[in-house]
């Protein structure tokens, strides 16, 4: 009985002590919750030499733990770590311990590059990655994306693309980046030659998945080449006369004499021939391929047809739209098809505004475009359309039109011939 009594007493004391401790802990929890949490990385990492020594040969294991820590530090501080140096320090140690984890390089590019625009650090990261993983396309590919999108350094991007291509298993699309960068750099002929070659190779290799992609890229290279020549001639004309010319006027004035341009008809013919001889013809000898591509470029005395759509060349010219010149001097020369699409889009947007106006005004049409669009109406009242016609507004029918295409809504069908 006495034994049970002492046991019960001890149990009661234990419960009282633990209960008191828990009560205090509850109070502490309440107090902690009142303090807003701010993440602060408390892990001190010395240089990788020491971390490596401490890891006692478990380099990969240690590197993976620090990798998790790096992710947490980045995420916990909600994508704004104290400094890019912290992230770079983590990166250095992790990749010194194990330089083969390519995800760390990609993540570090994001952490110090995308978030902090530290181009110098990104270059270091990519170069280290390439040095240790020369046959892995992932790191130079990320580097090329970053160099193109954030650094806007196309030469650097092209260098990384070439390094990515050292990987025997690099994906096809990396091939086309170089050509794309060439277009962006104004190296149209280089891009054109590249895409022309690849397109024919794709046909001969019977790779239909690539046909459309490469045709689009080849079109783009030729299109940009044409537009750059027209832009240059139009700006020179404008500087001389103070007026914007039409493409026909430039042509008639001999602005395109002796200019190297892709021969659209030849390209179409060559591709048609390649398609017809596709079956079992095998790869073309390199010299024949070079000759074919070279013959696709001609010195013209007049502007040849626009390249749109090799099969059905419905839209054959370019227009100069001075309205675009001030906002975007790169875009004021448009292919006819693009100009027509732009007019169609403008008409659609005005149409929806008209509908909203009518809903708000008991079905009445706006009396003027100014009443409908306010200051934006200047586009239609003070400027001509891309084809040189005048914009028109009929309040009786609630219709936006132009003298080039009286019924713009039908432009949705894109029948502008």
Partner 1 sequence: MKEITAIALNTFKEAIRNRILYVILIFALLLILFSGVLSQLTISDRLQLIKSLGFAAINLFGVAIAVFVGVSLVYNELEKKTIYTIVSKPIGRWQFLLGKYFGLLLTVWVNVLIMTLFFLISVHYNVGAMQGGGLASTLLASIGRGLLNLVAWNAFEPTQNLMFVIVVTCMELAIVTAFAILFSSFSTPTLSMFFTVLTFVAGRLNEHIIRFADTVLERARDEALAAAAPLTKPFAYWFAIGAAHVVPNLGAFHRSVTQAIYQNEVTLWPGTILYGVLYTAGILCLAILIFSRRNFK
Binding site for partner 1 (CB under 8 A): 52-53, 56-61, 64, 67-68, 71-72, 98, 100-103, 106-107
Q: Give the nearer residue to partner 1 in terms of CB position, either 52 or 298.
A: 52
Question: Cβ closer to partner 1: 67 or 321?
Answer: 67
Task: Please state the closest distance from residue 59 (CB atom) to partner 1, in A.
Answer: 7
β-bridge mates for residue 300, sequence order: 259
- Beta carbon nearer to partner 1, 138 or 383: 138
Task: Name 394's bridge partners.
Answer: 399
Q: Which is nearer to partner 1, 135 or 371 (CB)?
A: 135
Q: How far is the CB of 103 from partner 1 (least distance, A)?
A: 3
Q: Which is nearer to partner 1, 126 or 346 (CB)?
A: 126
Name the helix (H) or strand (E) containing 9: helix 2-34
CB nearer to partner 1: give 97 or 411: 97
Q: Which is nearer to partner 1, 12 or 135 (CB)?
A: 135
Taking the complex as a whole, the smallest distance from the CB of residue 87 to partner 1 amounts, in Å, to 14
Of the CA atoms within 13 Å of residue 129, those in its CB half-sphere come to 28
Q: What sign for the dihedral angle of Cα 182, 152, 217, 283?
A: positive
Q: Judge whether 405 and 339 are in contact, CB under 8 Å.
A: no
The minimum distance between CB 32 and partner 1, in angstroms, equals 24
Q: Taking the complex as a whole, how short is the minimal distance between the CB of residue 110 and partner 1, in angstroms?
A: 10
* Phi and psi angles of residue 126, each rounded to the nearest 5 degrees, phi first: -65, -45
Compare residues 16 and 75 and give the one whose CB is closer to partner 1: 75
Shortest reach from residue 133's CB to partner 1, in Å: 9
Min dist CB 198 to partner 1, Å, is 30
> Which CB atom, from 101 or from 156, has the smaller least distance to partner 1?
101
Tell me how far apart the alpha carbons of residues 132 and 103 are, in angstroms, rounded to a whole number. Answer: 13
Least distance from partner 1 to the Cβ atom of residue 63, Å: 8
* Residue 36 CB, nearest approach to partner 1 (Å): 24
């Amino acid at each position: 009985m006495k034994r049970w009594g002492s046991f019960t007493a001890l149990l009661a004391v234990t419960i009282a002590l633990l209960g008191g401790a828990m009560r205090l802990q509850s109070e502490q929890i309440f107090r902690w919750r009142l303090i807003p949490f701010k993440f602060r990385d408390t892990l001190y990492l010395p240089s990788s030499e020491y971390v490596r020594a401490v890891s006692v040969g478990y380099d990969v294991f240690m590197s993976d733990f620090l990798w998790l820590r790096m992710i947490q530090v980045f995420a916990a501080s909600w994508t704004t770590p104290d400094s890019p140096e912290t992230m770079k320090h983590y990166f250095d140690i992790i990749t010194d311990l194990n330089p083969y984890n390519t995800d760390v390089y990609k993540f570090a590019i994001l952490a110090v590059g995308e978030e902090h625009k530290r181009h110098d650090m990104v270059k270091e990261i990519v170069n280290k990655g390439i040095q240790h993983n020369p046959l892995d396309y992932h790191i130079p590919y990320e580097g090329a994306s970053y160099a193109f999108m954030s650094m806007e350094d196309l030469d650097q991007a092209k260098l990384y693309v070439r390094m990515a291509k050292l990987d025997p298993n690099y994906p096809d699309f990396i091939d086309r980046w170089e050509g794309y960068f060439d277009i962006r750099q104004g190296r149209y002929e280089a891009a054109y030659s590249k895409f022309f070659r690849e397109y024919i190779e794709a046909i001969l290799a019977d790779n239909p998945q690539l046909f459309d992609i490469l045709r689009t890229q080849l079109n783009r290279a030729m299109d940009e080449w044409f537009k750059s020549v027209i832009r240059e001639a139009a700006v020179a004309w404008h500087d001389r006369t103070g007026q914007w010319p039409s493409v026909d006027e430039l042509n008639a004035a001999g602005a395109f004499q002796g200019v190297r341009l892709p021969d659209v008809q030849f390209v179409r013919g060559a591709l048609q021939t390649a398609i017809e001889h596709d079956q079992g013809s095998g790869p073309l000898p390199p010299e024949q391929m070079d000759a074919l591509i070279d013959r696709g470029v001609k010195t013209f005395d007049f502007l040849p047809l626009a390249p749109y759509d090799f099969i059905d060349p419905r839209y054959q010219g370019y227009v100069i739209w001075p309205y675009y010149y001030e906002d975007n001097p790169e875009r004021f020369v448009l292919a006819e098809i693009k100009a027509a699409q732009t007019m169609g889009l403008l008409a659609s947007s005005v149409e929806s505004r008209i509908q909203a106006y009518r809903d708000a005004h008991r079905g009445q049409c706006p009396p003027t475009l100014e009443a409908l669009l306010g200051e934006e109406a200047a586009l239609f009242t003070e400027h001509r359309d891309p084809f040189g016609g005048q914009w028109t507004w009929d309040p009786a029918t609630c219709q936006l039109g132009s003298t080039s295409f009286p019924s713009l809504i039908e432009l949705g069908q894109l029948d502008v011939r």
